[in-house]
Each structure stands twice: as C-alpha cells, then as structure tokens.
Amino acid sequence: MFEFLRTFLRSPSLKLFLIAFLIVLLMVPLLLAGALIDERSYRAHEVRNEVGQQWGPRQELIGPFVVVPYVVRVATWENDKRIERQQERFAIFTPEVLDVSGQADTKILHRAIYDVPVYTARLKFSGRFGAAHLAEIESDTVQAVRWNDAKFVLSLSEVAGLKSVANLKIDDATSIAFAPSTGIAGRSSLSTGIHARLGDAPAIQYGPDKGFAFEVDLDFNGSVTLNVAPVAKETRVSLKSNWPSPSFQGAFLPSEREIGPDGFNASWKVPQLARNVPDSWSLSEAGPDRLRPYVFGVSFVDPVDFYTLINRAIKYGLMFLATSFMAVFCLEVIYGRRVHAVQYLFTGLALIFFYVLLLSLAEHMGFDTAYLLASSAMILMVATYVGGVMQSLYRGIVMAVILGLLFALLYFILRLEDYALLVGALLGFVALTITMFTTLRVDWSGRSQQAAPVGKD
C-alpha cells in the first residue's frame, strides 16, 4: 500500500492532475484581471459621457413633423348615462420627401488619459409636406381643427448642443424663427427639440388643400454618434466628415460610401416601405419614438477599441495557461528535470499579469505597441525563469519560441474576429496533439523513477 502511494506520488500522472488543479486555481486571479479591465472600460465610458454632456451628447435627430391640434367629441358612460366630452388631441404628419445633407467636422478632446471624439455638424434639412388629411387618422367625431396652431417640430437628443439660431424657411420665401422645446406641453415623447409655429406666417395656409416646402439649417455639437430617422416617404441623407474610420450603424447602411485617410462621404436612401410606420397618426396612439428602431447614421469611434480587444484576449486566458503549462510539462518529462508546483504557479501568475501590463500600457500608447512590449516582457521573463528552473539555456530558448508563437497566435485571433473561433480551435487541436505524442512514451504509472527520456539536451 505504501509502495503504491510512494509510486503514485512520484508519477507524472499526479503532476498532470496537479497542473490541472493549478489551472483551475489560477482562474481566480484571471477573473480579477477581467474585472479590472471591465472597471477601466466603464471608467472610459463615463469620461466619454461627461465630456459629451459638456461639448454635446450623442445626437439623434427624429423629424421634422407637423403637429396639428384638434378637438374630438368622445362619448363615455357614467351611471348608465351617456356623457359626451370634448378632448384635445394632436395629429402628426410626416414629410413626403426629406433630404438631409451636410458635414461633421471631428476632433479629439483629451481628459486625463482618455480620448473622446467629438464633432461639429452643419446639416441642412429640406423637403416637402403634402396636404394634411385628418380623416385618415381619426375615427372619432372631429369638432374642430386648429390649423393656425400647427407646429413644425424637430426632435433632438439634446438641444444644448445647438450653437446658432435656427430658422424655418418655407416655400423659399417666408422665414419663421424656431422656439425652444417642441411646444407641446405634457408630451414626454416630444419633450426635447425645437419648434416653429406655422401660424406665425399668415401667408402659409397649411391644411387639407395645401402643403409646403421647407428648409432648415442646423449647427450643433455632438459626440461619438450622429443618427437620423427616416421620417419621410422617401428619406435621402448625405454626410461628409474628416473622420477616417467611420462605423456605420443603425437599421440601414449607406447605399454609397467613400472612405479614405482624409475622411468619408456616405449617402443613404430609405423608402417608406422599409419602415413599418404610417405617414400620419395621432399622438395619443404613439409618439415619434416609434421611429427610433429605424434610425441610422455613423459612429465616430476607434473601430478597434483596445478595451474590447483585451477583454477578448482574457477570454482565451484558460487555453493560454493550459498550453503554456503543457509546454513546461513536456519539457519536464522529456528531459527528466522536475519542476515544482510552486514554480508552475509563479509561471501562471506571470502569464496572468500579462493582461494587467497590457491594459496599463495600452491606455497610454495604444494597443499594438502595448501588446508588443507586454508580450516581449512576458516572453523574456518566463523563458528565463523556466530556463533557470531547468538549468538549461536551450530549454529556456525552446520555451521562448513556444510563448512567442502563442502570443503571435493570440494577436492573430484578436485581429481576425470572424476567424477567432477557427484559429482558437486549431490552436487547441495542435497543442493537444503535440502533448499527446510528446508524452507517448511516458510511464504514467510511475513505476520507474522518472519518465524515460525521448530526447537529449
């Protein structure tokens, strides 16, 4: 019995199980490193929001609309008595055609170690509203329609970003100054924006028999994203910018785009049939928010966010540890030089610290340079340590080559997101195959004092 225990305690099988236990144990500091990355990423997001609130937030423009108040007669029953009351409602009419064109000039603002992309946009909204037909949206008895109180409304995420006075130009002649808010009290879905009262221009007779053409020039600040909603029967958007790496987003991608080192030029064309929203409706039925699922635009952010890359890298931490430990184990059983479990533990902790070092360097010098420096430092330290433990320069060089290949493959996986799973699976398959055939002649029972060497130093 004691002989069996003594043999088992000296067997490679026990070492293999001990390595597996150490890998599971090292998941705790690996998870702590992941939590640190999440905390730093969240802090960067907070800084972007803080700077955005001061310069201008993420802008989302929904509109324009024409909002017309009207009064209906509504019948209700109380104590078996039919009572008729008057109720004010609002009708929303969308344009027949909407053209949005302009430019967004970007720059980078710095807050501590963080960079925040911001922009100043100059957009021109032009198009035409057709004649308004209230009968298409109201089933109750309409008693009065207040056409003189009709309002031209444009909703923005945050009006604090507006940097100049805006005017509504109608039929290439009449000009009406915009007023703050949407002009409709108690309607939260239309609470943020600007409006112009069409009744302030007596020459405009908007109603069931007449529409009008419009033009609006807006200058505003924003940060990170700029989105537009396809409110018209046909919405056309043309946007230029000096941002060289745009990320187009939303429900629709540009129909045409040109991207170069000096910026981009993109255009969208969205027909009415591409959105499940009617041309007009009652505000009591839904607000302009019903168009939010269909917004589209561009994001002015670095397409390669290093926080995202490091988060993805740490997800391969378990495989990275296992592959490195298997490399040390194979060197151990091939050359007969025993490595203590504590030395395995130090090696694992060093590899986990790679992610912390990568994060701290990337925040100051970018991901690529940080990855090169952090991986080089880890390769030098771990290879030197393993070579010292095994008392062999040659084995240290072998470990350096193995780690160099692992770090190179990890970088390849991070850069080719679409093929990450394929490359990771191939890496795992190759590592397992090499380990299996390298240890083919190992005496796992431990009956011999050590594994028979299959190579020479």
pLDDT in tens, 235-289: 999 999 998 888 898 889 999 999 988 889 999 999 988 888 888 888 878 878 8
Does a structural domain hold residue 446?
A: no
| Same-domain status, 378 and 428 | yes
| Same-domain status, 64 and 37 | no
| Same-domain status, 207 and 331 | no
pLDDT score for 454: 41
pLDDT score for 339: 78
pLDDT score for 134: 78
pLDDT score for 419: 62
pTM greater than 0.85 (yes/no): no
User: What is the bridge-based pairing of β-strands 225-228 and 59-78?
Assistant: parallel
| Same-domain status, 283 and 332 | no
Burial 15-25 (b: 16+ CB within 10 A, else e): bbeebeebbee
Does a structural domain hold residue 4?
A: no
| Same-domain status, 289 and 384 | no
Question: Domains in the chain: how many in total?
Answer: 2
| Same-domain status, 254 and 372 | no
Residue ranges in the chain modelled with pLDDT below 70: 1-13, 75, 77-80, 82, 139-142, 185-191, 202-204, 302-304, 336, 416-421, 423-424, 438-457
What are 340-398's pLDDT values in tens digits?
888 888 888 888 888 889 888 888 888 888 889 999 999 999 889 888 888 888 888 88
| Same-domain status, 82 and 194 | yes
Does a structural domain hold residue 313?
A: yes
Q: Which of 299, 321, 344 is the last residue of a domain?
A: 299
pLDDT score for 457: 43
| Domain assignment of residue 218, given as a range | 57-299
CA distance 288 to 231: 9
Task: Identify the DSSP state of 280.
Answer: E
Does a structural domain hold residue 449?
A: no
The answer to whether 27 and 318 are in contact (CB under 8 A) is: yes
| Same-domain status, 187 and 262 | yes
Q: Which of 299, 326, 343 is the last residue of a domain?
A: 299
Return phi, psi of residue 90, to 5°. -130, 130
pLDDT score for 388: 86
Residues 6 or more apart in contact with residue 139 via CB below 8 angstroms: none
pLDDT score for 449: 47
Amino acid at residue number 292: R
| Same-domain status, 312 and 295 | no
| Same-domain status, 206 and 252 | yes
pLDDT score for 139: 65
| Same-domain status, 280 and 352 | no
Does a structural domain hold residue 378?
A: yes
Helix (H) or strand (E) holding 73: strand 59-78
Does a structural domain hold residue 410?
A: yes
Q: Which of 267, 284, 299 is the last residue of a domain?
A: 299
| Same-domain status, 149 and 69 | yes
Nearest to 20 by CA among 354, 317, 325, 395: 325
Does a structural domain hold residue 176?
A: yes
Q: Tokens standing for 67? A: 């909002």
pLDDT score for 440: 65
Does a structural domain hold residue 147?
A: yes
